[in-house]
């Protein structure tokens, strides 16, 4: 909570859209405080169990559970490297917004219920549907923030849900918009306009999209077990969506071509970074003896730490002191180092790799005090 409370507002309140899900950590703590239960147990008892979601967990699934998928990250050539599943959920950071383990059959139960409750509560002007578990669904799925403006048709963001009125671009919560210089394609051309409510998710080892069409009480769920070179779940979802809407062949988007374009753009990431780092590099700067950089560095809140060690003439940093998060540091200039590695290497390590991670993200900048001794790391 100290970390969340330290965050500053970057955009006008409810005036501009910027995706961030840390606020759900606050909901986690509020629920635990009011209910006297752990967040995991509360959601399991109040939502998962009543909906019959028997293969959905906010904790590590039971060891005897069968048919559990393996997670992968894509390499430059399109091959997949197996990785350890992202360690979020259980009883620590990330549980409320990224800690759920589930399957398509359970997700269909959840999202079908959401569509039904959405329509029922709007039609009756109520905040609940009988004794069923999901309350205030109309509030949860109503527009809160304008998104992807200017726009002739609706494009807005609710509580972790995007809302678009076709024909309209969609997919704004995913990674594809950053990979298309000409912008996302318009979906739903040549058919009657209707609302779609959608959510996307992307983690190392996973991509997904869910689309809810209240008018026809339809749900479309696409889930993959790999972080691909583009948001393939989004492209697949839009293919299925245009087929369901019966968009005329002449109005359909060429998603195969869009997938090729977005993949090629993603692969520019590493060469472009190397080029930019080279252009910004200052020649003839000196580095201190490497042992002067060794130590443990904490952030101002004393929550996050980085250990720096020296082995056989090579510096390494360990994020949160974890050996699994050990990366070599190579001198860049002055007291700055880089921890950048080729795309395939960071992918095999299970890290998230995205084109919005610019040069500064991959720099470790040390600073010294008045006595010149290194005592800070940025």
pLDDT > 90? residue 12:
no
> What pLDDT is attached to residue 1?
74
Half-sphere exposure of 38 (CA within 13 A, CB side): 10
Task: Provide the β-strand partners of residue 218.
Answer: 213
> What pLDDT is attached to residue 354?
76
Task: Provide the β-strand partners of residue 333.
Answer: 336
Spatial neighbors of 9 by CB under 8 A, at least 6 apart, are none
If we measure between CA atoms, which residue out of 230, 227, 232, 233 comes closest to residue 263?
230
> What pLDDT is attached to residue 81?
97
- What CATH number belongs to 2-266? 3.40.710.10
Q: Is the dihedral of CA 55, 60, 64, 70 positive or negative?
A: positive
Domain 274-377: CATH architecture, name and number where available: Beta Barrel (2.40)
Return the percentage of the chain with pLDDT > 70, whole number: 100
- pLDDT bin (cut points 50, 70, 90) of residue 6 is confident
Reported as a single tens digit per residue, the pLDDT across 112-130 is 999 999 999 999 999 999 8
Spatial neighbors of 232 by CB under 8 A, at least 6 apart, are 207, 224, 259
pLDDT > 80? residue 355:
no
Reported as a single tens digit per residue, the pLDDT across 168-187 is 999 999 999 999 999 999 99
The boundaries of every CATH 2.40.128.50 domain in the chain are 274-377
> What pLDDT is attached to residue 86?
85
> What pLDDT is attached to residue 248?
98
pLDDT > 90? residue 335:
yes
Alpha-carbon gap, residue 291 to 289, rounded angstroms: 6
> How far does the chain reach from its first CA to its final CA, in angstroms?
22
> What pLDDT is attached to residue 5?
79
The boundaries of every CATH 3.40.710.10 domain in the chain are 2-266
C-beta of residue 168 within 8 angstroms of C-beta of residue 187: yes
- pLDDT bin (cut points 50, 70, 90) of residue 343 is very high
C-beta of residue 205 within 8 angstroms of C-beta of residue 83: yes
pLDDT > 80? residue 356:
no
pLDDT > 80? residue 37:
yes
Average pLDDT value over all residues in the chain = 93
Alpha-carbon gap, residue 131 to 213, rounded angstroms: 24
Number of CB atoms found within 10 A of residue 135's CB:
15
Q: What is the pTM of this model?
A: 0.90
The predicted model gives 311-316 an average pLDDT of: 97
The predicted model gives 318-344 an average pLDDT of: 95
- pLDDT bin (cut points 50, 70, 90) of residue 4 is confident
Spatial neighbors of 217 by CB under 8 A, at least 6 apart, are 112, 115, 116, 119
Reported as a single tens digit per residue, the pLDDT across 261-289 is 999 999 999 999 999 999 999 988 989 99
If we measure between CA atoms, which residue out of 149, 183, 154, 182 comes closest to residue 167?
154
């Amino acid at each position: 909570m100290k970390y969340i409370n330290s965050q500053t507002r970057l955009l006008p309140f409810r005036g501009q859209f910027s995706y961030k899900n840390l606020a759900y950590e606050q909901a986690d703590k509020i629920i635990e405080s009011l209910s006297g239960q752990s967040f995991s147990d509360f959601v399991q008892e109040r939502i998962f169990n009543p909906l019959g979601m028997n293969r959905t967990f906010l904790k590590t699934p039971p060891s005897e559970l069968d048919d559990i998928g393996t997670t992968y990250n894509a390499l430059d050539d399109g091959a997949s490297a197996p990785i350890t599943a992202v360690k979020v959920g259980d009883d620590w950071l990330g549980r409320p917004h990224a800690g759920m383990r589930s399957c398509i059959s359970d997700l269909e139960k959840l999202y079908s219920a959401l569509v039904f409750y959405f329509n029922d509560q709007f039609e009756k002007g109520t905040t609940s549907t009988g004794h069923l578990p999901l309350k205030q669904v109309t509030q949860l799925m109503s527009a809160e923030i304008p998104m992807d403006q200017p726009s002739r048709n609706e494009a807005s963001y609710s509580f972790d849900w995007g809302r678009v009125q076709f024909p309209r671009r969609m997919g704004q919560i995913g990674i594809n918009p950053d990979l298309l210089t000409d912008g996302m394609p318009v979906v739903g051309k040549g058919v009657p306009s209707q609302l779609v409510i959608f959510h996307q998710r992307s983690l190392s080892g996973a991509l997904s999209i869910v689309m809810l069409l209240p008018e026809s009480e339809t749900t479309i769920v696409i889930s993959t077990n790999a972080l691909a070179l583009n948001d393939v779940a989004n492209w697949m979802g839009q293919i299925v969506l245009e087929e369901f809407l019966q968009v005329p062949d002449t109005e359909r988007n060429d998603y195969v071509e869009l997938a090729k374009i977005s993949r090629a753009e993603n692969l520019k990431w590493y060469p472009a970074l190397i080029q930019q780092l080279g252009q910004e590099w200052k020649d003839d700067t000196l580095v201190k003896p490497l042992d002067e950089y060794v130590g443990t560095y904490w952030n101002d809140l004393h929550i996050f730490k980085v250990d720096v060690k020296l082995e056989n003439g090579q510096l390494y940093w360990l994020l949160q002191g974890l050996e699994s998060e050990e990366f070599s540091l190579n001198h860049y200039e002055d007291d700055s180092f880089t921890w950048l590695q080729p795309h395939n290497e960071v992918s095999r390590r299970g890290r998230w790799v995205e084109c919005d991670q610019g040069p500064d993200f991959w720099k470790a900048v040390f600073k010294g005090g008045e006595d010149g001794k290194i005592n800070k790391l940025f």
